[in-house]
Amino acid sequence: MAHGLSAQGMVVVGGQWGDEGKGRIVDALAEYCDVVVRFQGGNNAGHSLHIQEKSLVLHLIPCGIVRAGRVSIIGNGVVIDPDVLFEEINMLEAHDVPVSFANLKIAQHAHIIFPYHKLIDAARESSSSSPIGTTKRGIGPCYEDKVGRFGITVHDLFSPKVLRQKLERALARHRDELSRINQPYPIEAMLDWANNAARGLLPFVCDVGETLDGYLRAGKRVLFEGAQGSLLDVDHGTYPFVTSSNCIAAQASIGSGIGMTKLTDVLLVSKAYCTRVGEGPFFSEASIEEQDLFRRLGNEFGATTGRPRRCGWLDLPALKYAARINGATATALTKVDILSGLGAIRIGTSYCANGQRDLSFAEALQKFQEGENVTMAYQDLPVMEPITERVNSLADFPATIQELCRIIENHVGVPVRMISYGKKRGQELWL
Ligand code: IMP
Ligand code: MG
Protein backbone atom coordinates (compact mmCIF):
# COMPACT_ATOMS: atom_id res chain seq x y z
CA MET A 1 0.00 0.00 0.00
CA ALA A 2 1.40 3.39 -1.00
CA HIS A 3 1.01 4.98 2.40
CA GLY A 4 2.39 1.97 4.31
CA LEU A 5 0.13 2.62 7.27
CA SER A 6 -1.69 -0.40 8.58
CA ALA A 7 -3.93 0.88 11.36
CA GLN A 8 -7.67 0.48 11.21
CA GLY A 9 -8.26 3.73 13.07
CA MET A 10 -5.91 6.53 12.11
CA VAL A 11 -5.93 10.16 13.19
CA VAL A 12 -4.55 12.99 11.06
CA VAL A 13 -3.85 16.11 13.13
CA GLY A 14 -2.20 19.46 12.61
CA GLY A 15 1.18 19.89 14.30
CA GLN A 16 1.16 23.70 14.17
CA TRP A 17 -1.56 26.38 14.23
CA GLY A 18 -3.74 24.85 11.55
CA ASP A 19 -3.49 25.16 7.76
CA GLU A 20 -0.77 22.53 7.59
CA GLY A 21 -2.39 20.89 4.56
CA LYS A 22 -4.37 18.22 6.41
CA GLY A 23 -7.13 18.36 3.80
CA ARG A 24 -4.99 17.12 0.95
CA ILE A 25 -3.49 14.37 3.13
CA VAL A 26 -6.89 13.17 4.24
CA ASP A 27 -7.94 13.28 0.59
CA ALA A 28 -4.94 11.13 -0.39
CA LEU A 29 -5.46 8.67 2.49
CA ALA A 30 -9.22 8.47 1.87
CA GLU A 31 -8.41 6.40 -1.20
CA TYR A 32 -7.43 3.59 1.20
CA CYS A 33 -10.14 4.21 3.81
CA ASP A 34 -13.86 3.56 4.05
CA VAL A 35 -14.92 6.25 6.50
CA VAL A 36 -13.70 9.78 7.29
CA VAL A 37 -14.71 11.47 10.56
CA ARG A 38 -14.54 15.06 11.82
CA PHE A 39 -14.40 15.15 15.61
CA GLN A 40 -13.99 18.80 16.71
CA GLY A 41 -14.25 22.40 15.63
CA GLY A 42 -16.74 23.71 13.14
CA ASN A 43 -16.69 25.93 10.09
CA ASN A 44 -13.74 27.88 11.50
CA ALA A 45 -11.77 25.24 9.56
CA GLY A 46 -11.00 25.51 5.87
CA HIS A 47 -9.63 22.50 4.07
CA SER A 48 -8.52 23.22 0.52
CA LEU A 49 -8.57 20.46 -2.05
CA HIS A 50 -7.13 20.66 -5.56
CA ILE A 51 -8.56 17.94 -7.73
CA GLN A 52 -7.59 18.02 -11.40
CA GLU A 53 -8.56 21.52 -12.50
CA LYS A 54 -10.95 22.11 -9.62
CA SER A 55 -10.23 23.86 -6.33
CA LEU A 56 -12.67 23.28 -3.56
CA VAL A 57 -12.77 24.40 0.08
CA LEU A 58 -14.62 22.42 2.74
CA HIS A 59 -15.32 23.96 6.14
CA LEU A 60 -17.52 21.43 7.86
CA ILE A 61 -18.00 18.24 5.89
CA PRO A 62 -15.01 15.84 6.01
CA CYS A 63 -12.76 15.86 2.94
CA GLY A 64 -13.60 12.19 2.29
CA ILE A 65 -16.91 13.31 0.80
CA VAL A 66 -15.29 14.00 -2.58
CA ARG A 67 -14.32 10.33 -2.99
CA ALA A 68 -17.11 8.08 -4.22
CA GLY A 69 -18.02 5.19 -1.94
CA ARG A 70 -16.62 6.77 1.23
CA VAL A 71 -18.78 7.62 4.23
CA SER A 72 -18.23 11.00 5.89
CA ILE A 73 -19.17 11.51 9.50
CA ILE A 74 -19.59 14.65 11.58
CA GLY A 75 -19.04 13.59 15.18
CA ASN A 76 -20.54 14.84 18.43
CA GLY A 77 -17.44 16.95 19.16
CA VAL A 78 -18.16 19.22 16.19
CA VAL A 79 -20.27 22.39 16.41
CA ILE A 80 -22.60 22.75 13.44
CA ASP A 81 -23.85 25.89 11.74
CA PRO A 82 -26.77 24.42 9.75
CA ASP A 83 -26.74 27.26 7.19
CA VAL A 84 -23.11 26.50 6.40
CA LEU A 85 -23.82 22.78 6.20
CA PHE A 86 -26.63 23.27 3.69
CA GLU A 87 -24.53 25.66 1.62
CA GLU A 88 -21.70 23.12 1.56
CA ILE A 89 -24.04 20.32 0.49
CA ASN A 90 -25.34 22.54 -2.36
CA MET A 91 -21.80 23.42 -3.38
CA LEU A 92 -20.82 19.72 -3.48
CA GLU A 93 -23.87 18.80 -5.51
CA ALA A 94 -23.03 21.60 -7.96
CA HIS A 95 -19.65 19.82 -8.33
CA ASP A 96 -21.44 16.53 -9.06
CA VAL A 97 -20.88 15.10 -5.60
CA PRO A 98 -24.27 13.80 -4.45
CA VAL A 99 -24.82 13.98 -0.68
CA SER A 100 -27.26 11.71 1.15
CA PHE A 101 -27.41 9.54 4.26
CA ALA A 102 -25.43 6.94 2.30
CA ASN A 103 -22.33 9.15 2.43
CA LEU A 104 -22.96 11.72 5.20
CA LYS A 105 -23.93 11.01 8.79
CA ILE A 106 -24.25 13.56 11.56
CA ALA A 107 -24.11 12.97 15.31
CA GLN A 108 -27.32 13.58 17.19
CA HIS A 109 -25.35 15.10 20.08
CA ALA A 110 -23.36 17.64 18.11
CA HIS A 111 -24.11 21.20 19.25
CA ILE A 112 -25.77 23.77 17.03
CA ILE A 113 -24.26 27.18 16.30
CA PHE A 114 -27.18 29.63 16.46
CA PRO A 115 -27.14 33.05 14.78
CA TYR A 116 -26.69 34.69 18.20
CA HIS A 117 -23.41 32.80 18.73
CA LYS A 118 -21.98 34.49 15.64
CA LEU A 119 -23.18 37.93 16.72
CA ILE A 120 -21.64 37.50 20.16
CA ASP A 121 -18.34 36.23 18.73
CA ALA A 122 -18.06 39.18 16.31
CA ALA A 123 -19.13 41.77 18.91
CA ARG A 124 -16.60 40.54 21.47
CA GLU A 125 -13.79 40.54 18.93
CA SER A 126 -14.48 44.09 17.82
CA SER A 127 -14.90 45.50 21.33
CA SER A 128 -12.04 43.65 23.07
CA SER A 129 -8.83 45.47 23.90
CA SER A 130 -6.93 42.21 23.30
CA PRO A 131 -8.85 40.28 20.65
CA ILE A 132 -8.02 36.64 19.90
CA GLY A 133 -8.46 37.12 16.16
CA THR A 134 -11.22 34.50 15.93
CA THR A 135 -12.91 33.54 12.68
CA LYS A 136 -16.16 35.11 14.05
CA ARG A 137 -18.07 31.97 13.16
CA GLY A 138 -19.59 31.63 16.64
CA ILE A 139 -17.38 28.69 17.56
CA GLY A 140 -16.27 29.88 21.01
CA PRO A 141 -19.71 31.05 22.22
CA CYS A 142 -21.27 27.75 21.07
CA TYR A 143 -18.71 25.65 22.97
CA GLU A 144 -19.20 27.91 26.01
CA ASP A 145 -22.90 27.07 26.00
CA LYS A 146 -22.05 23.40 25.67
CA VAL A 147 -19.81 23.26 28.74
CA GLY A 148 -22.14 25.71 30.48
CA ARG A 149 -24.79 23.00 30.05
CA PHE A 150 -27.31 25.13 28.22
CA GLY A 151 -26.30 24.43 24.64
CA ILE A 152 -28.71 23.04 22.05
CA THR A 153 -27.92 19.82 20.22
CA VAL A 154 -29.03 18.45 16.86
CA HIS A 155 -31.31 16.08 18.72
CA ASP A 156 -33.04 18.92 20.59
CA LEU A 157 -34.18 20.42 17.28
CA PHE A 158 -36.57 17.54 16.68
CA SER A 159 -38.69 17.97 19.79
CA PRO A 160 -40.76 21.23 19.67
CA LYS A 161 -41.35 21.25 23.42
CA VAL A 162 -37.73 20.63 24.38
CA LEU A 163 -36.51 23.09 21.76
CA ARG A 164 -38.71 25.92 23.02
CA GLN A 165 -37.66 25.32 26.64
CA LYS A 166 -33.97 25.14 25.81
CA LEU A 167 -34.08 28.17 23.54
CA GLU A 168 -35.83 30.21 26.20
CA ARG A 169 -33.13 29.26 28.65
CA ALA A 170 -30.29 29.95 26.23
CA LEU A 171 -31.70 33.32 25.19
CA ALA A 172 -32.21 34.28 28.83
CA ARG A 173 -28.54 33.50 29.47
CA HIS A 174 -27.50 35.67 26.52
CA ARG A 175 -30.09 38.43 26.95
CA ASP A 176 -27.83 41.03 28.51
CA GLU A 177 -25.03 40.57 26.04
CA LEU A 178 -27.42 40.58 23.07
CA SER A 179 -29.19 43.73 24.19
CA ARG A 180 -25.85 45.46 24.77
CA ILE A 181 -25.15 44.91 21.08
CA ASN A 182 -28.72 45.87 20.14
CA GLN A 183 -29.77 42.39 19.08
CA PRO A 184 -32.77 41.49 21.22
CA TYR A 185 -33.43 38.09 19.69
CA PRO A 186 -37.14 37.24 19.48
CA ILE A 187 -37.72 33.60 20.31
CA GLU A 188 -40.27 33.07 17.53
CA ALA A 189 -37.75 34.06 14.87
CA MET A 190 -35.23 31.68 16.41
CA LEU A 191 -37.77 28.86 16.51
CA ASP A 192 -38.49 29.32 12.81
CA TRP A 193 -34.80 29.24 12.05
CA ALA A 194 -34.35 26.11 14.19
CA ASN A 195 -37.28 24.31 12.57
CA ASN A 196 -35.81 24.96 9.18
CA ALA A 197 -32.46 23.65 10.42
CA ALA A 198 -34.17 20.55 11.79
CA ARG A 199 -35.77 19.77 8.44
CA GLY A 200 -32.44 20.00 6.65
CA LEU A 201 -30.51 17.98 9.22
CA LEU A 202 -33.02 15.20 9.80
CA PRO A 203 -32.02 12.99 6.83
CA PHE A 204 -28.43 12.72 8.11
CA VAL A 205 -28.77 12.18 11.85
CA CYS A 206 -27.83 8.98 13.66
CA ASP A 207 -25.96 7.63 16.68
CA VAL A 208 -22.53 8.12 15.18
CA GLY A 209 -20.64 6.25 17.94
CA GLU A 210 -22.70 3.14 17.33
CA THR A 211 -22.37 3.45 13.56
CA LEU A 212 -18.61 3.79 13.87
CA ASP A 213 -18.39 0.83 16.20
CA GLY A 214 -20.21 -1.22 13.57
CA TYR A 215 -17.78 -0.11 10.87
CA LEU A 216 -14.77 -0.95 13.01
CA ARG A 217 -16.16 -4.38 13.90
CA ALA A 218 -16.71 -5.04 10.22
CA GLY A 219 -13.02 -4.36 9.62
CA LYS A 220 -13.48 -1.02 7.85
CA ARG A 221 -10.71 1.55 7.91
CA VAL A 222 -11.64 4.78 9.61
CA LEU A 223 -9.74 8.02 9.21
CA PHE A 224 -10.17 10.81 11.75
CA GLU A 225 -9.68 14.24 10.24
CA GLY A 226 -8.45 16.88 12.68
CA ALA A 227 -9.22 20.56 12.18
CA GLN A 228 -7.16 23.52 13.39
CA GLY A 229 -3.87 22.39 14.95
CA SER A 230 -2.22 21.24 18.16
CA LEU A 231 -1.03 24.71 19.14
CA LEU A 232 -4.64 25.97 18.95
CA ASP A 233 -5.82 23.24 21.36
CA VAL A 234 -7.73 24.79 24.27
CA ASP A 235 -5.76 22.76 26.86
CA HIS A 236 -2.36 22.36 25.27
CA GLY A 237 -2.06 25.28 22.87
CA THR A 238 -0.94 28.88 23.20
CA TYR A 239 -3.80 29.75 25.58
CA PRO A 240 -5.70 32.08 25.51
CA PHE A 241 -4.83 32.49 21.82
CA VAL A 242 -6.43 29.19 20.89
CA THR A 243 -9.69 27.86 19.54
CA SER A 244 -12.38 26.61 21.92
CA SER A 245 -12.02 22.88 21.32
CA ASN A 246 -9.42 20.19 21.84
CA CYS A 247 -7.72 19.65 18.50
CA ILE A 248 -5.27 16.90 19.42
CA ALA A 249 -5.57 13.21 18.60
CA ALA A 250 -7.18 12.09 21.87
CA GLN A 251 -10.20 14.20 20.96
CA ALA A 252 -10.89 11.86 18.04
CA SER A 253 -12.23 9.35 20.52
CA ILE A 254 -14.22 11.82 22.63
CA GLY A 255 -15.57 13.73 19.67
CA SER A 256 -16.88 10.69 17.83
CA GLY A 257 -17.95 8.29 20.56
CA ILE A 258 -15.56 5.39 20.05
CA GLY A 259 -13.02 4.08 22.56
CA MET A 260 -9.49 5.45 22.40
CA THR A 261 -8.05 1.92 22.06
CA LYS A 262 -9.40 1.89 18.49
CA LEU A 263 -6.96 4.62 17.45
CA THR A 264 -3.49 3.30 16.90
CA ASP A 265 -1.83 5.59 14.36
CA VAL A 266 -1.45 9.34 14.67
CA LEU A 267 -0.10 11.22 11.67
CA LEU A 268 1.11 14.69 12.63
CA VAL A 269 1.05 17.14 9.74
CA SER A 270 3.49 20.01 9.53
CA LYS A 271 4.31 22.50 6.84
CA ALA A 272 8.01 22.77 5.95
CA TYR A 273 7.68 26.27 7.41
CA CYS A 274 5.09 27.71 9.75
CA THR A 275 2.02 29.95 9.66
CA ARG A 276 -0.61 31.20 12.07
CA VAL A 277 -3.75 33.30 11.67
CA GLY A 278 -4.91 35.51 14.50
CA GLU A 279 -3.11 36.83 17.54
CA GLY A 280 -0.73 35.13 19.96
CA PRO A 281 2.88 34.00 20.29
CA PHE A 282 4.77 32.83 17.19
CA PHE A 283 8.42 32.47 18.09
CA SER A 284 9.76 31.76 14.60
CA GLU A 285 7.83 34.53 12.85
CA ALA A 286 9.81 35.87 9.89
CA SER A 287 10.63 39.48 8.97
CA ILE A 288 7.99 41.52 7.13
CA GLU A 289 9.78 41.08 3.77
CA GLU A 290 10.24 37.35 4.27
CA GLN A 291 6.57 37.00 5.23
CA ASP A 292 5.55 38.66 1.97
CA LEU A 293 7.61 36.13 0.07
CA PHE A 294 6.14 33.17 2.00
CA ARG A 295 2.64 34.49 1.37
CA ARG A 296 3.22 34.98 -2.32
CA LEU A 297 4.90 31.61 -2.90
CA GLY A 298 2.69 29.59 -0.59
CA ASN A 299 -0.58 31.49 -1.13
CA GLU A 300 -0.78 31.97 2.62
CA PHE A 301 -4.19 33.54 2.96
CA GLY A 302 -6.89 32.05 5.18
CA ALA A 303 -9.18 29.58 3.39
CA THR A 304 -12.01 30.62 5.72
CA THR A 305 -11.56 34.33 6.30
CA GLY A 306 -9.16 35.32 3.53
CA ARG A 307 -6.89 36.98 6.13
CA PRO A 308 -3.18 37.07 5.30
CA ARG A 309 -1.50 34.42 7.44
CA ARG A 310 1.47 35.29 9.61
CA CYS A 311 4.45 33.34 8.25
CA GLY A 312 7.73 32.08 9.64
CA TRP A 313 10.21 29.25 9.81
CA LEU A 314 9.70 25.70 10.96
CA ASP A 315 9.78 25.64 14.77
CA LEU A 316 11.32 22.33 15.85
CA PRO A 317 10.75 22.53 19.63
CA ALA A 318 7.07 23.35 19.00
CA LEU A 319 6.80 20.42 16.61
CA LYS A 320 8.44 18.14 19.14
CA TYR A 321 5.93 19.32 21.75
CA ALA A 322 3.06 18.66 19.31
CA ALA A 323 4.38 15.15 18.64
CA ARG A 324 4.40 14.45 22.36
CA ILE A 325 0.92 15.70 23.21
CA ASN A 326 -0.55 13.80 20.25
CA GLY A 327 1.48 10.62 20.67
CA ALA A 328 2.40 10.98 17.00
CA THR A 329 3.54 7.79 15.30
CA ALA A 330 4.66 9.59 12.13
CA THR A 331 4.85 13.04 10.60
CA ALA A 332 3.84 14.35 7.20
CA LEU A 333 5.75 17.28 5.76
CA THR A 334 3.83 19.54 3.38
CA LYS A 335 4.62 22.34 0.93
CA VAL A 336 8.35 21.56 0.67
CA ASP A 337 8.23 22.99 -2.88
CA ILE A 338 7.74 26.49 -1.42
CA LEU A 339 11.23 26.31 0.13
CA SER A 340 12.89 26.47 -3.28
CA GLY A 341 11.81 30.07 -3.85
CA LEU A 342 12.96 31.39 -0.51
CA GLY A 343 16.73 31.67 -0.83
CA ALA A 344 18.53 30.54 2.32
CA ILE A 345 16.32 28.39 4.53
CA ARG A 346 16.17 28.56 8.29
CA ILE A 347 14.95 26.10 10.90
CA GLY A 348 14.14 27.20 14.44
CA THR A 349 16.02 24.94 16.85
CA SER A 350 15.70 26.44 20.35
CA TYR A 351 14.24 29.28 22.41
CA CYS A 352 16.11 31.78 24.56
CA ALA A 353 14.76 34.44 26.90
CA ASN A 354 16.49 36.76 29.31
CA GLY A 355 19.83 34.96 28.97
CA GLN A 356 18.31 31.52 29.48
CA ARG A 357 18.92 29.12 26.60
CA ASP A 358 17.24 25.94 25.37
CA LEU A 359 13.87 26.62 26.95
CA SER A 360 11.13 24.08 26.33
CA PHE A 361 8.00 25.15 24.46
CA ALA A 362 6.07 25.35 27.74
CA GLU A 363 8.80 27.47 29.35
CA ALA A 364 8.94 29.76 26.35
CA LEU A 365 5.17 30.29 26.56
CA GLN A 366 5.46 31.12 30.23
CA LYS A 367 8.17 33.71 29.51
CA PHE A 368 6.03 35.19 26.75
CA GLN A 369 3.09 35.56 29.14
CA GLU A 370 5.35 37.30 31.62
CA GLY A 371 6.15 39.83 28.90
CA GLU A 372 9.71 38.67 28.25
CA ASN A 373 11.17 38.68 24.79
CA VAL A 374 11.52 35.10 23.57
CA THR A 375 13.92 34.68 20.67
CA MET A 376 14.48 31.70 18.44
CA ALA A 377 17.88 30.30 17.51
CA TYR A 378 18.14 28.99 13.95
CA GLN A 379 20.07 26.50 11.92
CA ASP A 380 20.62 27.47 8.27
CA LEU A 381 20.11 25.18 5.33
CA PRO A 382 21.51 25.93 1.87
CA VAL A 383 19.41 27.44 -0.92
CA MET A 384 17.33 24.72 -2.50
CA GLU A 385 17.13 23.95 -6.20
CA PRO A 386 13.61 23.39 -7.64
CA ILE A 387 11.96 20.00 -7.27
CA THR A 388 11.41 17.88 -10.36
CA GLU A 389 7.80 17.37 -11.51
CA ARG A 390 7.70 13.73 -10.40
CA VAL A 391 9.39 12.32 -7.33
CA ASN A 392 9.62 8.56 -6.74
CA SER A 393 11.92 8.35 -3.75
CA LEU A 394 13.54 10.54 -1.12
CA ALA A 395 16.71 10.50 -3.23
CA ASP A 396 14.87 12.34 -6.04
CA PHE A 397 14.42 15.37 -3.78
CA PRO A 398 17.08 18.10 -3.54
CA ALA A 399 19.67 17.41 -0.83
CA THR A 400 18.19 20.22 1.29
CA ILE A 401 14.91 18.32 1.72
CA GLN A 402 16.70 15.09 2.58
CA GLU A 403 18.67 17.02 5.20
CA LEU A 404 15.48 18.67 6.51
CA CYS A 405 13.86 15.24 7.01
CA ARG A 406 16.92 13.98 8.90
CA ILE A 407 16.87 17.04 11.17
CA ILE A 408 13.15 16.67 11.89
CA GLU A 409 13.42 12.96 12.64
CA ASN A 410 16.39 13.51 14.95
CA HIS A 411 14.78 16.37 16.80
CA VAL A 412 11.17 15.19 16.99
CA GLY A 413 11.84 11.48 17.31
CA VAL A 414 9.24 10.15 14.87
CA PRO A 415 9.71 9.19 11.23
CA VAL A 416 8.68 11.42 8.33
CA ARG A 417 6.24 9.22 6.42
CA MET A 418 4.94 11.56 3.78
CA ILE A 419 6.17 14.59 1.87
CA SER A 420 3.90 16.69 -0.32
CA TYR A 421 5.58 18.81 -2.96
CA GLY A 422 2.84 20.45 -5.02
CA LYS A 423 -0.82 21.37 -4.99
CA LYS A 424 -2.04 18.60 -7.25
CA ARG A 425 -3.43 15.27 -6.16
CA GLY A 426 -0.60 12.76 -6.44
CA GLN A 427 2.21 15.22 -5.72
CA GLU A 428 3.04 13.42 -2.53
CA LEU A 429 5.59 10.78 -1.67
CA TRP A 430 4.92 8.12 0.96
CA LEU A 431 8.08 6.86 2.63
P1 IMP B 1 -12.05 30.54 16.55
O2 IMP B 1 -11.78 29.08 16.37
O3 IMP B 1 -12.85 31.14 15.43
O4 IMP B 1 -12.64 30.85 17.90
O5 IMP B 1 -10.64 31.32 16.50
C6 IMP B 1 -9.67 31.17 17.51
C7 IMP B 1 -8.27 31.17 16.92
O8 IMP B 1 -8.10 29.99 16.16
C9 IMP B 1 -7.98 32.31 15.96
O10 IMP B 1 -6.60 32.66 16.07
C11 IMP B 1 -8.23 31.72 14.59
O12 IMP B 1 -7.52 32.38 13.58
C13 IMP B 1 -7.71 30.32 14.82
N14 IMP B 1 -8.30 29.30 13.94
C15 IMP B 1 -9.51 28.72 14.07
N16 IMP B 1 -9.70 27.82 13.10
C17 IMP B 1 -8.58 27.82 12.35
C18 IMP B 1 -8.16 27.06 11.21
O19 IMP B 1 -8.86 26.18 10.71
N20 IMP B 1 -6.93 27.35 10.71
C21 IMP B 1 -6.12 28.29 11.28
N22 IMP B 1 -6.47 29.02 12.35
C23 IMP B 1 -7.68 28.77 12.88
MG1 MG C 1 -7.22 25.65 7.00
Would you call 156 a catalytic residue per the annotation?
no
State mean pLDDT over 310-339.
98
Q: Which residues line ligand 1 (CB under 6 A)?
A: 17-19, 44-46, 132-135, 137, 139-140, 227-228, 232, 243-244, 277-278
Q: What is the pLDDT of residues 339-376, one digit of tens each?
A: 999 999 999 999 999 999 999 999 999 999 999 999 99
Predicted local distance difference test score (pLDDT) of residue 390: 83
Predicted local distance difference test score (pLDDT) of residue 4: 57
Say whether pLDDT at 249 is over 70: yes
Instruction: Specify whether the CB–CB gap between 302 and 238 falls below 8 A.
Output: no
Q: How far is the CA of 63 from the centre of ligand 2 (A)?
A: 12
Among candidate residues 3, 27, 47, 174, the one labeled active-site is 47
Residues 319 and 413: their CA atoms lie apart, in Å, by: 10
* Nearest Cα residue to 247 out of 172, 97, 255, 239: 255
Q: What is the pLDDT of residues 277-316, one digit of tens each?
A: 999 999 999 999 999 999 999 999 998 889 999 999 999 9
Q: How far is the CA of 179 from the centre of ligand 2 (A)?
A: 33
DSSP 8-state symbol, 69: T
Q: Is the pTM of this model over 0.85?
A: yes
Would you call 95 a catalytic residue per the annotation?
no
